[in-house]
Structure 1
Amino acid sequence: MMKEIYYRKMLTIDDLALTPVYFILILMIAYFIRNLIVGNDEQIKKYFIPGLIFKLFGSIAVGMIYFFYYNGGDTTEYYNNALVMYGALSDDPVIFFKLLVYSYEDMDPSVFDYKGWLYFRRDPSSFFFGQITGFFSVFGFCVYTPTALLIAAFSYIGIWCLFMTFYRIYPDLHKEFAIAVLFIPSVIFWGSGILKDCFTLSSAGLCVYSFYNIFIARKRKIANLIILAMATFFCLKLKPYIIIALFPGLFFWAILIYRSRIESPFIKFLAGPVAIVLAGLAGYLAVNKLGNEFSKYSISGVLQTAEIYQDWHTILAEAGSASGYSLGTIDGSARSIITKIPAAINVTLFRPYIFEVRNPVMLLSAVESMFLLIFTIRILWKTGVRITLRAIFNNPTAFFCFFYALFFAFCVGFTAYNFGALVRYKIPCIPFYLAGLYILNKQTIIELSRNKKTNSPGNFSPETQLNS
């Protein structure tokens, strides 16, 4: 029985039969609840269904790429774990429950006949996502595409919440934020379907949404505390480094917004250095706290991991690997890591360049990277580096977006060994970086126009459209 279940093909005639049914059913439910979620705001209501449709198609595309192009990969192994759990459900629901909630090491002998068929035995985070896939597979009859559609639809909640958070702060940028959060092709593709990145991006969006509501908008604190706790839990279980990068930026965001509301110039002046110290301390404590639970995320673990991966960078580059890249020699010291920060950020946000493309999958990433590079250069060229930096530091939301995006870009650019892995790892920072660019572009246009009228250098003021 187990062998028959386990060796079931990933895409079958069942997918062709059930996919349209689930696709239409999800859209019908979404259309019904749209007014409950969005309300009567016609300005953004028009994005809700199209954003979901793109995400659903993205989940289907991921499965087809892995099945027909890669001939297997992470998503197929998550699905295989779901098959085992679904098979256990038909045999004994108690065994299914144990497979669903226990870690591989904690499973008792009663599940022995099943646990041997499971992947990711030594990778707790991937094993956990296999359990998540197993849960959703129950509602998709363990058929791959319906299961992927359900995961994509569920994860869309966090994506939409992130869009709504930015929109509440800058309502005039609704179109730009829709592009940045809902319609970036690589984020739609790699952030959908049966992949960890789908859940982690959604969890990051929920963290931002709930943090904003608790500490900045100050509403529905209990409900948002629960959302924040759950989203943080999923991030910690799947990709803890997202929390390491995200939470210092969130604390910066809140402190800088409180600073913008202070009327006393002296206290406002002191608040800046205090914010830097507190956010830096929070980041340091987060890394070391996580290091107690996940050794590779401790300070020493990061240095060791970085050195190992950078050795692979060099080997792949020298061997002429199709997608490998190198940042140069790394000796494991803090100084050598600091010197690689610009290159690591560059490789995450702006590479692969068009001339580095080696396969069709890389082409999509290269086109997006070129767009981000041109957009960034355009802003710097139009306003100048000094004015741009001043605008960032005086705008709490822009500062948060860039702080998190650049910190995260450094982390993944420094530890991913090739462009194929990087295109997936970097998606949690791309919406924030592009949203930051749109905010910065709007603010610099306004300020430059104001300066032309007054013929004075002027000062950038923090955002004035914040809704409390």
Structure 2
Amino acid sequence: MKLQDLLLTPIYLAIFYGIAYGVRGKVTNVFTRRYFIPALSVKFLGAIALGLVYQFYYGGGDTFNYTKHVDIIYDAFGESPVAAIKLIFSHGEFDPVTAPYTVHMYWYKSSTEFFVVQIAAVLSLLCFNTYSVMALMFAGISFSGMWAMYLTFIRAYPLLYKRFAIAVFFLPSVFFWGSGVMKDSLCLGALGWVFYGFYHATVLKRNIFFSIVVGLIGAYVLITVKVYILLSFMPPALIWVFIENNRRIKSAALRMVLKPFFLVLGVGAGFLGATNLTAQDDRFAVDKIGERTKINQEYLYTLTKDQGSAYNIGAVDGSLGSLVTVAPQAVIVSLFRPFLFEARNPVMLLSAIEATMFIYLTVMMFYRTGIIKSFKQIASTPMVTFCFLFAIVFAIGVGTNSGNFGTLVRYKIPLMPFYLAALYIMQFQANNAKKLSRFASTEKRASMVARAA
């Protein structure tokens, strides 16, 4: 960060807050209004904090590697605007005009990283290539999708607006890792818009055109940057749709008969959609998932085993069968680790505190409700079914690929709002069931007293 950051950041912050206060009335109601500015503020805080941590704690990292590429494109606008425009719309191809610049870009041929560079390069033109202001803009983009995610949850369960705010906005790992000049910020915002678009277009069937457009834009970002997020989202989402349609059948007998058919159809549609998405990408081919997981896990584990942040969930030999074997451990490590005693640095400690909260809420939920009743509750509530399936599928993916807690804490943030939201919905339903039970018991006793009198 430079003197330019110190001078321009307060000015742009004032502008961004002015825009936020102007927009707030259109996207909030009397209950959600109070969370809009605080939620945006923690995103801004996370964006600035991420840059400071990478600069003064890590001494560099991805966020500054992105900005180095942006610097080259920004300078190109002063030297050759044609070359700069070509770089912004480039797909990694060779061009004599851009070659003097791309030779200095390590990520030019990497479509995922360079997509982030292209977004940041466009934003740099609006802020005189100031890193901290670009980070605030990334936080704003991410926040737009997170707010859409929040609105989707409270559309289904309006009374849980306080708890959903915690789940979506105020988990430290989520607003820290998902706010700066990083792939994670774009993906988190895109996932929120995909969730919003999917729910409104296929479940509620309202504002269909707008929902499809924003959902497709979000899906495009995920496909470009981290397609595995969309691959984890699709099968549970399609199962959700088929369960919802099954519930709307009036005949109970017909519902029971068709339910297995809808589930199989949902799984099949999700699998076909996932395979079609990756048909041209060998990195995510179904028959190579095990092999690539083995390579990623071994590389990341070896890279950090001497630092105390590596973890081992079992042997992955490159086959799909070995992935199935280690899947339970992958879910545990993604949702509930690192444990407090495994924390080796402040970042790991933060993640360990969140994991401990997840352990506590999960155990208390299943303890108070009962294991069998809890699973019945999950199966009978379509949104909860979706949230848990997405969290589990995603947890298996990142848990088997990460190999160390430093990487895992960043990879797993997309699942965290959904998992915590599902726990809050179950808790709400369980409390309501107990209240209804007590009310029914009171009514029964009053009736018996009345008859006795």
Classify the TM-score, shorter chain: over 0.9
CA contact (8 A) 1:176 1:438 kept: yes
Paired with 2:102 and 2:302, the residues of 1 have a C-alpha distance of: 36
Paired with 1:310 and 1:14, the residues of 2 have a C-alpha distance of: 40
Paired with 2:258 and 2:34, the residues of 1 have a C-alpha distance of: 40
Q: Secondary structure at the match of 2:60?
A: coil
Paired with 1:142 and 1:70, the residues of 2 have a C-alpha distance of: 22
Tell me whether 1:28 sits opposite 2:15 in the alignment.
no
The residue that corresponds to 2:158 in the other structure is 171
Q: CA deviation at 1:178?
A: 0.3
Q: TM-score, normalised by structure 1?
A: 0.91
Give the one of 208, 211, 223 matched to 1:221.
Answer: 208
CA contact (8 A) 2:384 2:425 kept: yes
Tell me whether 1:311 sits opposite 2:298 in the alignment.
yes
Deviating above 6 A after TM superposition, structure 1's stretches of 4 or more consecutive aligned residues are none
1:76-123 Cα distance to aligned partner (Å, 9 max, x none): 01111111111111222221111001122x241111111112131342
The residue that corresponds to 2:358 in the other structure is 372
Change (3 A) 1:202 1:363: same
The residue that corresponds to 1:85 in the other structure is 73
RMSD: 1.6
CA contact (8 A) 2:50 2:177 kept: yes
Q: CA deviation at 1:58?
A: 0.6
CA contact (8 A) 1:77 1:119 kept: no
The residue that corresponds to 2:250 in the other structure is 263
Structure 2 portions without partners, runs of 5+: 442-453
The residue that corresponds to 1:191 in the other structure is 178
Q: CA deviation at 1:313?
A: 6.4
CA contact (8 A) 2:301 2:403 kept: no
The residue that corresponds to 2:34 in the other structure is 46
Paired with 2:141 and 2:315, the residues of 1 have a C-alpha distance of: 42
Question: Where do 1:354-369 residues align within 5 Å?
Answer: 354-369=340-355
The residue that corresponds to 1:207 in the other structure is 194
Give the one of 276, 297, 301 matched to 2:263.
Answer: 276
Paired with 1:213 and 1:48, the residues of 2 have a C-alpha distance of: 21
CA contact (8 A) 1:249 1:403 kept: yes
1:254-295 Cα distance to aligned partner (Å, 9 max, x none): 222222222111221133212321221123223322332221
Structure 1 portions without partners, runs of 5+: 1-10, 456-468
Q: TM-score, normalised by structure 2?
A: 0.94
Give the one of 238, 257, 272 matched to 1:285.
Answer: 272
CA contact (8 A) 2:243 2:263 kept: no
Give the one of 398, 401, 424 matched to 2:387.
Answer: 401
Paired with 1:108 and 1:270, the residues of 2 have a C-alpha distance of: 60
CA contact (8 A) 1:313 1:327 kept: no
Question: Where do 1:49-198 residues align within 5 Å?
Answer: 49-104=37-92, 106-198=93-185
Tell me whether 1:334 sits opposite 2:320 in the alignment.
yes
Q: CA deviation at 1:453?
A: 5.5
Q: Secondary structure at the match of 2:278?
A: helix
Give the one of 350, 354, 358 matched to 2:336.
Answer: 350
The number of aligned residues is 441
CA contact (8 A) 1:401 1:432 kept: yes
Q: CA deviation at 1:222?
A: 1.6
Identity of aligned residues (%): 36
Moved more, 397-406 or 113-122: 113-122
CA contact (8 A) 1:405 1:429 kept: yes
1:322-342 Cα distance to aligned partner (Å, 9 max, x none): 211111112223322112111
CA contact (8 A) 1:287 1:298 kept: no
